[in-house]
Amino acid sequence: RLRPFNRLQVILQHLTMSKHADSTAEVLLEKKGCAGIITLNRPKALNALNISMIRQIYPQIKAWEQDPETFLIIIKGTGGKAFCAGGDIRAITDAGKIGDRLTRDFFREEYTLNNAVGTCKKPYVALIDGITMGGGVGVSIHGHFRVATEKTLFAMPETAIGLFPDVGGGYFLPRLSGRIGYYLALTGCRLKGRDVLKAGIATHFVDSEKLPALEKDLIALKSPSTENVADLLNSYHAKSKADQDKPFVLDEHMEKINSLFSGNSMEEIVKKLKQDGSAFANKELETINKMSPTSLKLALRQLREGASMSLQEVLTMEYRLSQACMKGHDFYEGVRAVLIDKDQAPRWKPAALEEVSDEFVDDCFKSLGNNDLKL
């Protein structure tokens, strides 16, 4: 038999081991007080979403939605640098090169998760502290509340890697004021801190150091309604003074963004930028010229159509586009240039907007029949 001291040692050892094993999990799902808490836990990968994380988060959201003891859901990231920097693009690229089904499964399951966030019956609070891009936007933007901090860095940089601003980008981007969404989608422009709130992407702004206290107060709420959660977030938001008086970074360019990015085609937008000739227009033209011409055309049409669609219709459309990109050239070339070789010199095919035909674009939007995303 173990002596009491040894037994205690074994128990302690076991506890630290199980705690340790737990802390290496890619996503932590726990119930605290009135809240279900999702913690994205791949700090070395900037909490990028992979398929195994998606497969854990989705059923848990659905379970908490049905649980009478869970009143709200909180999602956050670990590591202090990122909330979630995107989807696991490397894994998808590798799968695409060998024709693996992950290129279908990943997007199907990710968009199904985005829809679960968008239709969640419980208040859903995303603490978007740090880098929030692509897939990270998908698991936050469609929920009731998005809390930005001075560390938040938002972008939809997909046109630079031969993709398009997916995860429901076709739904939320055209609904931002003026043509901000079109501008963000086509240029991949990054917004920081309070500007994420001013653009309409975040609903609240709280100092990063106050997030643990906010989380504690959220968890301590007694059977809260959406209004109770909103009241608490509003009270924290009101106390934050960081960058309060700074004008929105896009304010001075809004007039130009609204006129230049209102073209009906990419060619028209480029023509407007060239004709404008201002420093702002020239800089944006330079950015757009680096992007995949195919991605630009897909993204513009995606937003124009998405503007009058439901989130479910948008995600179904985006699934079709994702599969077109998986079969194409630019996605693999973009990932090579930006993430693998990092030479930042992608060779797009076709290389010019004029060479991306309307027929080709139409094809990308066509129904996949039985393979369509069903929500």
Q: Which residues are catalytic?
A: 87, 135, 158, 166
Rounded CA-CA distance 163/239 in Å is: 39
First to last CA, the chain: 57
Q: What is the DSSP string of 59-109?
A: HHHHHHHH-TT--EEEEEESSSSEEE--B-HHHHHHHHHTT-THHHHHHHH
For residue 150, give the nearest of 211, 106, 225 by alpha carbon: 211
Tokens representing residue 23 in the block: 């802390």
